[in-house]
């Protein structure tokens, strides 16, 4: 797999999981309403996917030696990964009770992140346990902080 494609895929996938989990946990804590959560997921799938793809695009343009192909492979793979992974989080929100959907989404996101972290560690010949714990720890921090922000906002406004 080409490095430019790996760059976009890994960035889009990770950003999609972490951003979406933070958003849905925070919105749920603040509103306890399905509609804002679905709206937030769709907003991330479109606006944030384009934002991340542009960020990767500009980052690749700034990197010496990047070719036109490298730049666009990273850009498109970041957008596709972010969009599609984010959209998967809508399914449990539509099909399950909202509190169950949030729990399911956290499990879903952590599972994908764990699997992807394992693949990265194996590819780099590093300890999968350390890489997985490092990535999951960051995800847990985002989830907890987002929940606390949602609770704070629901009490203040």
The pTM assigned to this predicted structure is 0.94
DSSP assignment letter at 3? H
The string of DSSP letters for 81-102 reads HHHHHHHHTHHHHHHS-HHHHH
- Could you give the number of structural domains in the chain? 1
Structure tokens of 16? 């999609």
Q: How high is the pLDDT of residue 1?
A: 80
pLDDT in tens, 32-80: 999 999 999 999 999 999 999 999 999 999 999 999 999 999 999 999 9
Q: CB-based contacts of 24: which residues, under 8 Å, 6+ apart?
A: 37, 40, 41, 89, 93, 102, 105
| Structural domain span for residue 45 | 3-156
CA distance to 21, 55, 90, per residue, from 102 (Å): 8, 29, 10
């Amino acid at each position: 797999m080409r490095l430019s494609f790996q760059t976009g895929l890994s960035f889009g996938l990770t950003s999609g999981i972490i951003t979406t989990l933070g958003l849905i946990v925070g919105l749920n804590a603040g509103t306890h309403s399905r509609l804002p959560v679905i709206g937030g997921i769709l907003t991330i799938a479109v606006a944030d996917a384009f934002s991340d793809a542009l960020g990767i695009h500009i980052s690749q343009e700034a990197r010496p030696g990047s070719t036109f192909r490298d730049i666009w492979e990273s850009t498109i793979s970041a957008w596709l990964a972010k969009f599609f992974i984010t959209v998967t989080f809508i399914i449990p929100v539509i099909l399950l009770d909202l509190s169950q959907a949030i729990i399911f989404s956290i499990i879903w996101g952590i599972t994908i992140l764990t699997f992807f972290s394992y693949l990265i560690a194996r590819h780099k010949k590093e300890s999968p346990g350390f890489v997985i714990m490092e990535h999951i720890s960051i995800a847990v921090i985002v989830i907890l902080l987002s929940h606390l922000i949602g609770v704070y906002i629901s009490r203040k406004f």
